[in-house]
Each structure stands twice: as C-alpha cells, then as structure tokens.
Structure 1
Amino acid sequence: MKNRELANTFYEIADLLELENVQWKPAAYRKAARGIENLTEDISDIYEREGTEGLKSITGIGSNICTHIVEYLKTGKIEKFEKLKKQSMSGASELIEIEGLGPKTIRKLHDELDIKSISDLRDAILKHKIQELEGMGEKTEQNLLEAIRNFEKSHERMQIDVAIETAEDVISYLKEQNKPDIINYAGSLRRMKETIGDIDVLAVTDNSEELIESFVNMEDIERIVSKGRTRSTVVLKNGVSVDIRVIKNESYGSAMQYFTGSKQHNIELRNIALEKGYKLSEYGLFEKESGKKIEGRSEERIYGTLGLAFIPPPLRENRSEFEAAKYDNVPDLIEVGDLRGDLHIHTDFSEGVDSIESMVSMAEEIGYDYIAITDHSRSRKVANGLSIDELKDQWKQIDDLSGKYSIKILKGSEVDILPDGNLDYPDNILDKLDIVVGAIHSGFKYPESKMTRRIISAMESEHLNILAHPSGRLIGKREGYKADFDSVFEAAARNNKILEINSQPKRLDLNDSMIIRAKKTGVKFCINSDAHGSSQMEHVRYGTGQAKRGWLTADDVVNTYTYNKLMKTFDNS
C-alpha cells in the first residue's frame, strides 16, 4: 500500500520544516501522516473511488496536503519535498533520526563542526569534538554514540508490522495470480520476533515456474537478486528482501519446521532425531540407517515421532521448549481471539486522530466486551494532555455514548508517573476513573536506583491499575530506562498491579524475555494496542505475538477476563 510511503514522506517533511524553524506546518504534516497511517485501505483506492473529496475526508488532510497526495499518487514524488531536501542542510533528514538530536542541535553541529551525516557525527564523537561545544560534554558524546548504534541496528532489520504487511501483500498477490495449493511465510516472522531481517515464503504448487514468474514481476520490485525454477529472491522498493521457495507437498511440514525454527532450536531438534535413529532435514524425517522417509508433510507428526508435543512457532528459540515438549507441558498459548477488550486507547481529545465514538465503534465491530479510553494526563503537554476540565468533558461524552452502545466504555487515563512517583492527577480525580494506566514519559536518564524507586512508589498507589510500556524503550530508537526490573516485577505482583504488553510495533514493551522474567513472580499482564486511531486497534496481534513468545496463556492476561472479573481485579489492585 502507498499509505506507509506517504506517511513516512509527510513525517520527513515535518522534520525538515522544523529544521528550517517553521512554526506550525510540521504539526499539520504529522497529523496528516497519522491520519494516513490509520487508514484501513490503500489511499490510492480511496482517490480512485472518491477523488479529492475522499482524500479530504481523511483526518488531517486539507486542500494543500491533498494536492501533495494527488501529485504523489500520479508521479511517485512530491515536488515540495524534493525542494526541501535540496534546500535543507546536507544529511539533516538522516541526522534527525538520531535520538537526542533536535533541529537546534543539528544546526549547531552543522554550523560549528560541519557535521553533515551520521558518519561525520561518529567521527566527531570519536575525536571528542562534541564535548568541546557549549552545553555539551562527555556524557552527550556517550549518549549520541549509543543512539547511532541503535539507529544502525534498527536499519538492519524491519519492524514486525512492516514485515507482516509486506509478507501478506506478497502472499495475497500470488494467491490471486496463481492459486498455489499452499503458501505461507516462515522464518523469524512466523516466530513473531520483534524485528525481522528478511521474509521467507514457502509455497506448494504444480506450476512452480509460473509462480516464480509472477513473483519476480510484482509491481514493487526494486531488483531481482536471483531467479530459478523453484526459488527466487527479490528486493522490494521499501528495501525488504523476500525469498520464495516452491517445495513438494510431501516435504511441506519438514520445510516449514526447518525454515521457522531458530538456528539453536533446529540444531537441538536434529540432535534429538539422531539420538532416536533418525535424520532430519528440510526434506523430511528419515531413518538414519535405511534412508527411508518417515514423515515430511506435517510438523505435528515430525515432533510427535521424535517423542515431543508440538512446539508452537513463537517458542522455537531453544529456551526450555524441548523440556516442556518432552513432558507434554507446552502451554496453550494465548490467541488474539481470547482478548475481550483493549485497556489503552487514545482519541482526538489528546494525540489520537479519531473520536471516542469511532474508537468505541471499532471496538464493538471487533467484538470486544469493553474498551478503556485513556488519553494523556495534564503534564504530557507535547501530547495535548487533558486538563481536569477537559477530562470531565470527556466523561460526559462517554456517558452519552454508553447509552448508545452495548460495549462497556471505561473512563480512564494514561497518567504520567511524576519524578517523585506520584501520579499526575489529584486523588479526588483518580478516584472517579475506572482505570488508571500509569506511564513514565520523562527522566529517562535517571540512575537505576532512582527510577526503580519512582516506579515502585507509583505501584504502591491505590489508584494505579496498569503500568504502561514498562521498560520505556522504542525499538531501534531508544533503549529503555535503567531500573531493577526484577524488583519492579515483584512489586507489581505484591501490589496486584498489572503489567502492560504494549502492542505498538515501535514499542512491543514488555518484550518476550521480560515477560518470561515477570511471569515467574506471578504477576498478571494485559495486551493493549495503545491505538492512536481506530485501525491501530489491530496492533494487538503484535503484542499477542510477544505474549506467545513469553509463554503466556489466556489466564495470564486480564483483558481476556469477563467485564465483571476484570473490574474485581481492579478493585483488588
């Protein structure tokens, strides 16, 4: 879809305008970008069906930005954007991606040290030139160097939402063109890892050459890396590498197992096979002595023949799954369909793009029993945090809508945890909220002991229900803050507080390893979308993927509970 390309272009325009010290236009372009990201269909289809009026109906799209969209859809570029890139400081659009570098700092680095690229910045850091500038020091250099590493690491791999969207688009196209018997993605994407290197697709068909021909002639291909009768690799225009293999039906199960498991998982499984007198490969499970093929069509039967319960793809990391499978103790992992509600949602009262009613309507369409409206609290100025009066106005809207919809609408707030551990609204306001989602949005560089005390102090509040995005990380952009998380998890369990698994692809926080650690304390979790638009409510698929990788069952996650059971859980927190 063109949506992601356009949204990214508008975000970059906003960044470049900020570098030129333009005051209000960056916010307009960012709002338009968020509106486009929230679309559930391709923007080009909207334009083809409804013209410019259809485009203007999208949140954040006015006449000027509508003109840019039409230009992009017709020509593949926006002249204003091209001029901005030429006029702006060389490398500025790249530098602004580095955490800790705002427009003023980039201008300072450019003017005083002639820094025009990330490479220039790294060289200046290594030569300790940054700390010579006024207002900067050795700590600034250390933070910037860490930020560069995070940026480069993130650009080696793609976010899971980009990977899934790309894989599903490729598979949908090939199903339409060739109707293969079976076609699915495998690899780390099937294991639901938080970031993905490239995409592996496996297909079963009698017309392999036709399938390969359709694959290498897809519209969005940048270049063909290789092309054969049963395998081909291409790089798409978005930079994603996609590999397709056509396999025989009798080897489908073994191939899916081989191309899904991590390297360590597959080595261990092959060793188990050898110990039992078998040889396992992507082509099947064979008797070691006679070479007779025992199984290949079914992953389940391969694991079963080796004396193991079936191991779901998200667990195939060689992290104790074999011991569980040996004794038939593999948990019944949570599924997206187990979720009964979403407890972290933003609307256009703060930084969301859709109304309360739009979010409620989408939740009801999904089939949820309840939804919590949790816009930002008053200290979160950058996200249009709600004053007490604005929060009360929101309550009135919720009361009005509660009579119109069958779904339960909870009055909530994503409340800032202040530096001293207190919450951002007074007790008399917190008392009236159905749900309080506490979050850290400042002081990320606090020492570990101070941050730990801050979080634990908040969790000792009778008002707090959920700790949002507990580690504070942004994948590839910002490391999480330093805290003694084992103590945090124990405090959460002790105080009956719930830990969020935030489903935003840039967060996925808690991640799988932290979920595993936290679960040992007996704490409960919730999987929330943190949606800033109605279409983002589907992001729970990514959070659920992390929950699966963290060995969670439906019973571990409170928003699988009925409404009455959920509210009793909050009463005990």
Structure 2
Amino acid sequence: MARSNDDAAEMLREFAELLAISGGPDCKVRVYEKAARSVAGYPADIAELDEKALRKIPDVGSHTARKILEYFDTGSVGELTTLRKQVPPGLRTLVTVPGLGPKHAHQVYEELGITSVDGLLHALHEHRLRELRGWGEKSEDNLARSLREAHSAGGRVQLGYALDLASQLLYRISGLPQVRLAAYAGSLRRMRDTVGDIDLLVAAVDAEPIMADVAGLPMVARVLAHGPTKTSVLTTTGVQVDVRVVDPSVWGAAMLYFTGSKPHNIQVRELAVRAGLKLSEYGLFDVATGRLIVAETEEEVYQRLGLPWIPPTLREGTGEVEAALEGRLPSLADIGDIRGDLHTHTDLTDGVASLTEMVAAAKKHRYEYYAITDHAPLLWMQRMTTEKALEQRRRIRALERTAGITLLHGTELNIQPDGSLDWDEEFLSTFDIVVASVHSRFRQSREEMTARVLRAIEHPCVHVIGHPTGRLIGSRPPVDLDHDAVFRAAARTGTALEINSSPERLDLDGDLVRRARHFGVRFAVSTDAHAVPHLDYLRFGVATAQRGWAGPDDVINTYSEARLRRFLREKSRALTRR
C-alpha cells in the first residue's frame, strides 16, 4: 500500500504543478515542490501528526501543514479543487510531455493556444516554438527528440510505480473471502525496468464476486472487458490491469504461463511437445490421454519437463532454458546477500534526511556497513566544500562509535566533460569509498563520452562508476558509450560499475550487466538514496542484477566488510603497480 507520506507528497506536487501551469509565482511553486520532497522523504508516518509536529518537517510551513491536515481529514483540499477547475484538462496533459514542464506548458498555451499533445506536435512540425521567448532551434529539437523517445517507450510505466499500483490492488483483492492466493505475473514479476499492462492472478473457486469487486474499485476509470474469470480495467492513471481468476488446483501452471515472456513460454511448450505433452495455463497434460499430469506448483511443472525451477527474473528466452537443461543456471544474488549500501545522500547536499536519520534507517535494514556519499564541489548547486566534507567525516566517526554499524565516509564525484574530477588525488585518498558519475553534458559524442568515463575508471581513487549510462527511464536516453571498452577497463582496473536501484534509473540495466559479466566486471548494487524510503529501492537493483545473471560474488556489497575493504584497496594498488 502507498504510504500516507506518499499520498500527501503527491497532493503537494500537484499543487506545485497546477500553480506553475496557471502562471503562479515561482516562489510559491518552489515552496510546494520542496515540501513534497521533504514529506516523501520523511522517515515517520505523518498521518497522525498535528500541525505543530508537521511544521517540524523541513520546508513545511504552517500554510502547507494546514493543507496536509485538510487532505487527511477530508480526502481533498478546497484550494486544490479550485485550481483543478481553472486549468484546462488538455493543458494538464501537456505537463506530462517529457522535456516541456509546467512553465513552458503555460507559455505554449498562453501564446500559441496549444492544449493537446497533437497541437504541440503540429507546432513543432511548423517550427513555431522556436519563435517564442526563451526558445530556439536547439530547444525545439530537444523537445521533439524527447517526444520521439517517449513515443518509443510505448506507454510503459516505471517498475516502481507499477509494483506500487499492483500492491495496492492485491491488498484489496486479497481481503476478499473467496480468494486463496493472489499475485502479480507478467513483466512485473520478471521485474522488467518498465511495465505495460499489469497482470494479476487470483486463485479462487468462486470468481464472480471478485470480478465484480475489481470493476468497482475506486482507482478504476473504465472497465475495458468484464467476463466470468477475467476483467480488464483502465486505472485513473492510465494503466491497464488484467485480473484473471483460476482454480487453486492449477495455480502453478497459470503462474508459469502468465509470467514468462513469449520466447520463454514457446521454448517450454516445445519441450512439452517433444515429450508428448501439452502445456497451458490449466496444467501439463498427456496428449494421448488428455490426463492432467501436474498443475499445482511451478516447481512440479518445470520438474516434469526435466527442468529446475527457473527464477522469474530470468524468464526472457535468452538462454535460460538451455542453461537449465545443461545444469548451468547461475546462483543469483539475492536481497538477503546484500550487506550494505554504497551510494547514499544526506541533507548536506541534495538529500532530505539528516545523517543521523539515514544511518538509523540503514541499521534497521541490518546492514553490516553503510556508505554516505554526498555530492562533491563541481556539482556547484550542492554547495559542497572541503571543509563541509571534513566536518561530515568527523560527525560520521563520532556517530559510528554508538551506531552499531560500520560507516564509510565517501563522496560522489562529478566526471567533468574532459574526465577530470572534483578533488585532487591526495584528498580523495582519504575517503573510504569514491563513486564517480556523469551529471552533465549527456550528449557528447561516443568518442568523447567513452574517453571521459575511461579517464575516471583509470583514476586510482575511483572505486565505483555511478549510474554508468546516465539514463532516466522515459525522460533521458542513455549516453552514447563504447560499452565493451568501458567493461574491459573496469575489469582490468578493478573498478566496480553501479547497478543503480532507483526505479527511474536501473542503471546498468540487466542486458548490460550480463554483457559486463563476460568481461569479469564487478558491480555495486546501491540505492542512490536521497531519503529514508529510498533505501527500500534495493529490491529493484537486486532484481536488475538477477536479470543480468549476476551472482553474489559479482556484487561487491555482498562481501564481508573485510573483503570489501580489500577490494577497495586493491584498486589503487593495481594501478600503482602498472
């Protein structure tokens, strides 16, 4: 279920968005944006807080606190309802266009009368945007590129959003008395980085009440199809959800059938055909007699076909069936193997929680070690200095004495366009761990970007390359890199590549992880957390590692503290010996 903090934060974000669209003052827009970030990242549940307690949350003033209380008391906010009526629905749609944003949406509405995506596309085709104040040929081209990229995504949503929506639906469905089991299947169970339709599977003898309940859920905007055992709905956020009910006796066969990708299912069905069997969502049958052989569990179905159980994250038809037949399935890294998080932020830079709050949250995750890696000076808007970094280090060392967890003082450096980094080698050598990431100039040529990243990899103090391709799913494409050159260098120098667990990044993705493994690359599955709830993103990163066939030994934060420190020391030694 969504946390009350998340609901309130979404309300505040909508306030900021509608104010920006309607031409409200920038200062007021920023107030709501900052409050939304703070509320979303606040570690405690805010639903029971009074106004005085709410005002103790950073960036939440008395005016905002009263709106939050009104929202929890009544389920709506009067001022927000008024704003919604003032903003044309088509204009709100424009805000969802990647690369446009509320202020530019208001501008094209006011100056060109554009109220739809079709109208925006027509204006782009006629090159009318470049004539507006603050626009030009380049910004118009960038918007057109963003629209093309969004179109190529096919209307898919990020994994984290899909999982949250599926969890809310399953919570409601699982509470019905007829339901024995309920779970998500499809690409969501395979933990793909984006999800189209959400597939929910329910085990029950009596399907009719479940179908009726699904059709009447408050988050349902429209019923697309309604049958005795399957109902398809469109949610208020535009995501299609298909709910299927099967008899509990065939649960395993149905889960296998509705989880696997098309290539995986074809391969498994071909195995059945060669054995004189037929596989469907209703079970594994003997073709000659029509007799049901197995159906209750996935393990039984796979076993009868001569296969071990194949983890859902591998079911993509990319060699997992052949590996299973030959006994070569990898032992995958699991969330229980992770001993610490190696990339996190605090409110010293762009995080919203304090050092103490983040460390306390890490301890609740039962981590053996935990790294604080706030931004470095060349990301100038974070206002980091050498003095601030040293003061944070003193605080970390003092906190470590009572925290009951090993704390690593790190930094996230900025890989500049020429590959240079923030601090000199002497100062960088004093950090426990150094992450280096690209944060700007994402459209350099392949040669320039590859040289840029390689220079950081070769630096003796850089242990991890953060979010290596720089992508933001649905809004920013990956940088143009010679991946093989990067992988070879990372393996040779002992530099880990990050699998960033943020659901808007998941970078490296599963395909690149698998490719990098062939070069002997090691990975750091980290959250890049900027708030306490972000530490829970780890499950997305681990799933991505699994999709890349990564085992525990491939992931450096499965190592014991002693082994991790040896790995970090070996980087500088390896380059020093060269």
Question: What is the TM-score of this pair, normalised by structure 1?
Answer: 0.92
SS at match of 1:243: strand
Q: Could you say which residue in structure 2 is the equivalent of 1:566?
A: 564
SS at match of 2:422: coil
Q: Could you say which residue in structure 1 is the equivalent of 2:34?
A: 31
SS at match of 2:333: coil
Q: Could you say which residue in structure 2 is the equivalent of 1:336?
A: 335
SS at match of 1:178: coil
Alignment of 1:76-87 (within 5 A): 76-82=75-81, 84=83
The 2-side partners of 1:151 and 1:5 are apart by 26
Q: Could you say which residue in structure 2 is the equivalent of 1:528?
A: 526
Contact kept in structure 2, 1:16 and 1:92, CA below 8 Å: no
The 1-side partners of 2:404 and 2:503 are apart by 30
The 2-side partners of 1:296 and 1:10 are apart by 48
The 2-side partners of 1:231 and 1:556 are apart by 42
Contact kept in structure 2, 1:98 and 1:477, CA below 8 Å: no
Say whether residues 1:56 and 2:55 are aligned partners: yes
The 2-side partners of 1:96 and 1:217 are apart by 29
Contact kept in structure 1, 2:124 and 2:144, CA below 8 Å: yes
The 2-side partners of 1:128 and 1:319 are apart by 44
Moved more, 67-76 or 308-317: 67-76
Contact kept in structure 1, 2:42 and 2:353, CA below 8 Å: no
Q: Could you say which residue in structure 1 is the equivalent of 2:190?
A: 191
- From 418, 422, 425, give the equivalent of 2:423: 425
The 2-side partners of 1:131 and 1:222 are apart by 37
Name the CA shift for 1:40/1:375 in 2 (closer, same or farther; >3 Å): closer
The 2-side partners of 1:121 and 1:215 are apart by 36
Contact kept in structure 1, 2:99 and 2:475, CA below 8 Å: no
Offset at 1:152? Answer: 4.2
The 2-side partners of 1:105 and 1:223 are apart by 31
Contact kept in structure 1, 2:338 and 2:558, CA below 8 Å: yes
Offset at 1:232? Answer: 2.6
Offset at 1:445? Answer: 1.3
The 1-side partners of 2:261 and 2:102 are apart by 41
Contact kept in structure 1, 2:491 and 2:519, CA below 8 Å: yes
Offset at 1:526? Answer: 0.9
SS at match of 1:174: helix
Please give the per-residue CA displacement for 1:251-306, whole angstroms capped at 9, x wherever unaligned: 11110000000112112211221122111111111112221211111212222222
Offset at 1:64? Answer: 1.1
Contact kept in structure 2, 1:167 and 1:199, CA below 8 Å: yes
SS at match of 1:222: strand
Give, as a single letter, the amino acid of the residue that structure 2 aligns with 1:369.
Answer: E
Offset at 1:172? Answer: 2.4
SS at match of 1:318: coil
Gaps of 5+ in 1: none
Gaps of 5+ in 2: 572-578
Name the CA shift for 1:388/1:40 in 2 (closer, same or farther; >3 Å): closer
SS at match of 1:325: helix
Name the CA shift for 1:89/1:489 in 2 (closer, same or farther; >3 Å): farther
Q: Could you say which residue in structure 1 is the equivalent of 2:474?
A: 476
Alignment of 1:121-132 (within 5 A): 121-130=120-129
Please give the per-residue CA displacement for 1:467-502, whole angstroms capped at 9, x wherever unaligned: 000000000011111121221111111111000011
Q: Could you say which residue in structure 1 is the equivalent of 2:413?
A: 415
Q: Could you say which residue in structure 1 is the equivalent of 2:142?
A: 143
Moved more, 418-427 or 526-535: 418-427
Q: Could you say which residue in structure 2 is the equivalent of 1:450?
A: 448
Contact kept in structure 1, 2:205 and 2:248, CA below 8 Å: no
The 2-side partners of 1:484 and 1:30 are apart by 37
The 1-side partners of 2:556 and 2:436 are apart by 16
Please give the per-residue CA displacement for 1:80-134, whole angstroms capped at 9, x wherever unaligned: 4455566679866544544444667556655665444432221122233445668
The 1-side partners of 2:139 and 2:15 are apart by 27
Name the CA shift for 1:55/1:178 in 2 (closer, same or farther; >3 Å): farther
Q: Could you say which residue in structure 1 is the equivalent of 2:403?
A: 405
The 1-side partners of 2:179 and 2:398 are apart by 50
Please give the per-residue CA displacement for 1:156-214, whole angstroms capped at 9, x wherever unaligned: 22221122122222222333342732221111111001111222222223443344444
Q: Could you say which residue in structure 1 is the equivalent of 2:25?
A: 22
Contact kept in structure 2, 1:314 and 1:545, CA below 8 Å: yes
Contact kept in structure 1, 2:205 and 2:246, CA below 8 Å: no
Percent of aligned positions that are identical: 38
Please give the per-residue CA displacement for 1:415-462, whole angstroms capped at 9, x wherever unaligned: 111121111122232121111110101111111111111110111111
Give, as a single letter, the amino acid of the residue that structure 1 aligns with 2:203.
Answer: V
Give, as a single letter, the amino acid of the residue that structure 1 aligns with 2:402.
Answer: K
SS at match of 1:123: helix
The 2-side partners of 1:140 and 1:103 are apart by 15
Name the CA shift for 1:259/1:467 in 2 (closer, same or farther; >3 Å): same
Give, as a single letter, the amino acid of the residue that structure 1 aligns with 2:12.
Answer: F
The 2-side partners of 1:85 and 1:219 are apart by 19
Name the CA shift for 1:435/1:92 in 2 (closer, same or farther; >3 Å): farther
Q: Could you say which residue in structure 1 is the equivalent of 2:10?
A: 8
Q: Could you say which residue in structure 2 is the equivalent of 1:391?
A: 389
The 1-side partners of 2:82 and 2:356 are apart by 40
The 2-side partners of 1:110 and 1:406 are apart by 56
Name the CA shift for 1:134/1:177 in 2 (closer, same or farther; >3 Å): closer
Aligned residues: CA RMSD: 2.6
Moved more, 187-196 or 237-246: 237-246
Offset at 1:330? Answer: 0.8
